[in-house]
Amino acid sequence: MADFTIYLGNKNYSSWSLRPWLVLKAAGLDFDEVVIPLDQPGTKAEILRYSPSGKVPVLHHGDRVIWDGLAIAEYLAELAPERLLWPADPVARALARSISAEMHAGFAALRAHCPMNIRSSFPNRGVTPEVQADINRVSSIWRDCRKRFGEESVGPFLFGGFTIADAMFAPVVSRFRTFKIDLDEVCQAYADAVWTLPSFQEWQAAAGNEPMIIDEAEF
């Protein structure tokens, strides 16, 4: 049994769960994982056995319990500083934290109308004017980071190498793919880099094999 156990929602649908799972992978830590099927009669009671907030994801590290995706990511960044889970440069790091917090707290229209559904494809659905405004804001964040900090020689991610900021936007990459959102060249190249990340591919394969269906994320 590993020192770390992360409790997750369905891999196909739980955008909140995907983020810290990718960060655990990037941290290079050995961990166990438990998927708690969401939207079932016993879901809340089951989650409450592990998470005081009644939400997943939650990370158990020995007797420490850390819940909320961004808090888990911050905890892992402190445990594995050598992995540069935040950018080393203070200016880049401040921007990475700003956009991660913006993603964590915002983009309500995109979340509501384009739910994460990794294995499905819903072209031309869900894009209201409010969703388009969210798409435009995400695209502008990606372009700005790639231009200012995403040195090709370091890597294809927002700050070159993979950081927590990329994990925060990974569910959006999946949403854009499911809903066939048109992106410019820079944003599409970034989205492709996140989508083909080996850890994300592993998650996608597991999502594809899950039998559970959540009706409200289907069209």
Ligand X SMILES: N[C@@H](CCC(=O)N[C@@H](CS)C(=O)NCC(=O)O)C(=O)O
Binding site for ligand X (CB under 6 A): 9, 14, 16, 38, 43-44, 47, 54-57, 68-69
Of the CA atoms within 13 Å of residue 32, those in its CB half-sphere come to: 9
The terminus-to-terminus CA distance of the chain in angstroms comes to 39
The least CB distance from residue 116 to ligand X, in Å, is: 9
Distances (CA, A) of 205 to 11, 91, 195, 208: 9, 36, 12, 5
| C-alpha to C-alpha distance for 43 and 9, rounded to whole angstroms | 10
Considering the complex, what minimum distance in angstroms separates the CB of residue 106 from ligand X?
12
Q: Which two tokens stand for residue 43?
A: 């879901």
In the bound complex, what is the minimum distance in angstroms from residue 179's beta carbon to ligand X?
18
Per DSSP bridges, beta strands 31-35 and 4-8 are parallel
CB 99 to ligand X: min, Å: 15
Q: How far apart are CA 140 and CA 137, in angstroms?
A: 5
